[in-house]
């Protein structure tokens, strides 16, 4: 009996030591679960900051949601976001810093076409994916696609094609009565070229001769561009706009103040909520094509978005960032727990369905690097963005500023 008593402390001590050792080993395993580092270079300051900050809010909110639930393959998501002020000269060093110093597995949610023009070559050179950029430009949509460029959103060509369809088929506006106001850079060129292609596709051969006003990026110098469309030799009844929200808002206000009241149409990049706020009482009837549903819609993705994202951060831009982050997470799940950039691309190209809650399956392959081709037209009515179901609803009389039943 005494011998048994003497052995108990020794036995207990052994158990304690073993337990401590096991816990230490477990802690070591946990500590080895390094985060997924994901980079982002976008405008967090300057005239386009609403776009960069909106995309970051959507991405970070979804990443945080996933992290609270254990991350992806038990590894947390870490977003490293660097400001480029929507200037390509800052984007290039940002990309190299993210890839070379921070060793990110992917760059996500970059904003803009001129910035993408320098970011895409670096992504291809470094073999690091560029995922879900906030641009619809063709330079990210080659045929066959660049291996390291994956898009979420529909292209500017698809957005402007929907505009042309609405103007010509639904409002019966003749192609020669369409004009353009665009940013004088790769972004403006991409949107303009998409509309020109759409017009040529319906048999209008002189599309490139249509009146076209321009302005300089990161300015609101719209006067020369507006004067081009006010030329009395032209009969412009619709203006397709490819620009940022501040210059586009100034253009619309100034035009309407001068009794020039065509149908105004903007691509999604304009930043819908910012444009609505900037226009104030001058916004009725302005059309904006969207690449995501309205955040207040009944699709599963919108319901989840409203549940997770704070109300004051809910808008079209943050919704796109949210969907981009969701698609990225689904891609990581396909890639596996120890995935590198090549595994990530291989997983996406496998053809496995990616569910985003938009009511359809998304599949990528070696020949398809764009998750969505959907367009949702909206327009401003009484300070709110609402779905555009009847294009005649967007017709506004400049003098009375009231919605009319049909275009005259």
Give the CATH fold of the 157-290+377-394 domain: Rossmann fold (3.40.50)
Record the pTM: 0.86
Per-residue pLDDT reduced to its tens digit, 311-370: 999 999 999 999 999 999 999 999 999 999 999 999 999 999 999 999 988 999 999 999
Per-residue pLDDT reduced to its tens digit, 385-401: 999 999 998 887 655 44
Class of domain 36-153+295-372: alpha beta
| Domain limits, CATH 3.40.50.2300, in the chain | 36-153+295-372, 157-290+377-394
Model confidence at 79, pLDDT cuts 50, 70, 90, reads very high
Per-chain mean pLDDT for the chain: 90
Query: What is the three-state SS of the chain?
Result: CHHHHHHHHHHHHHHHHHHHHHHHHHHHHHHHCCCEEEEEEECCCCCCHHHHHHHHHHHHHHHHHHHHCCCECCECEEEEEEECCCCHHHHHHHHHHHHHHCCCCEEECCECHHHHHHHHHHHHHHCCCEECCECCCHHHCCCCCCCCEEECCCCHHHHHHHHHHHHHHHCCCCHHHEEEEEECCHHHHHHHHHHHHHHHHCCCCCHHHCCEEEECCCCCCCHHHHHHHCCCCCCCCEEEEECCHHHHHHHHHHHHHCCCCCEEEECHHHCHHHHHHHHHHHCCCCEEEECCCCCCCCCHHHHHHHHHCCHHHCCHHHHHHHHHHHHHHHHHHHHCCCCCHHHHHHHHCCCCCEECCCCCEECCECCECECCCCCEEEEEECCEEEECCCHHHHCECCCCCCECCCCC
Per-residue pLDDT reduced to its tens digit, 9-57: 444 444 444 444 444 444 433 345 899 999 999 999 998 899 999 999 9
């Amino acid at each position: 009996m005494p011998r048994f008593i003497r052995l108990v402390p020794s036995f207990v001590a052994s158990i304690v030591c073993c337990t401590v050792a096991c816990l230490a080993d477990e802690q070591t395993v946990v500590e080895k679960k390094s985060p997924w580092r994901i980079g982002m270079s976008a405008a967090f300051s300057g005239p386009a900051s609403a776009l960069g900050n909106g995309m970051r809010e959507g991405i970070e909110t979804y990443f945080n949601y996933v992290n609270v639930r254990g991350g992806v393959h038990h590894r947390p998501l870490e977003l490293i976001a660097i400001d480029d002020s929507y200037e390509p000269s800052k984007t290039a060093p940002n990309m190299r810093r993210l890839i070379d110093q921070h060793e990110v597995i992917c760059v996500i949610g970059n904003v803009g076409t001129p910035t993408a023009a320098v970011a895409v070559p670096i992504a291809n050179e470094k073999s690091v994916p560029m995922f879900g950029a906030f641009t619809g430009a063709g330079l990210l949509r080659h045929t066959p696609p660049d291996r390291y460029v994956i898009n979420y959103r529909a292209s500017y060509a698809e957005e402007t094609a929907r505009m042309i369809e609405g103007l010509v088929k639904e409002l019966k506006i003749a192609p020669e009565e369409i004009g353009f106001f665009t940013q004088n850079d790769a972004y403006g060129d991409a949107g303009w070229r998409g509309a020109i292609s759409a017009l040529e596709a319906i048999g209008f051969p002189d599309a490139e001769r249509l009146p076209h006003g321009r302005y300089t990026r990161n300015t609101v110098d719209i006067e020369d561009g507006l004067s081009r469309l006010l030329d009395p030799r032209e009969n412009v009844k619709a203006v397709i706009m490819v620009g940022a929200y501040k210059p586009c808002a100034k253009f619309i206000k100034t035009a309407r103040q001068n009794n020039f009241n065509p149908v105004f149409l903007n691509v999604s990049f304009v930043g819908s909520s910012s444009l609505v706020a900037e226009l104030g009482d001058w916004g009725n009837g302005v059309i904006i094509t969207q690449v995501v549903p309205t955040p207040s819609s009944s699709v599963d993705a919108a319901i989840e978005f409203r549940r997770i994202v704070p109300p004051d951060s809910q808008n079209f831009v943050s919704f796109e960032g949210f969907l981009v982050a969701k698609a990225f997470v689904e891609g990581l799940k396909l890639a596996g727990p120890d995935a590198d950039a090549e595994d990530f691309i291989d997983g996406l190209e496998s053809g496995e369905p990616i569910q985003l809650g938009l009511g359809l399956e998304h599949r990528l392959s070696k020949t398809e690097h764009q998750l969505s081709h959907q367009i949702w037209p909206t327009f401003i009515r009484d300070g709110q963005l609402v779905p555009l179901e009847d294009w005649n609803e967007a017709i506004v009389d400049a003098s009375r500023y009231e919605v009319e039943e049909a275009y005259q």
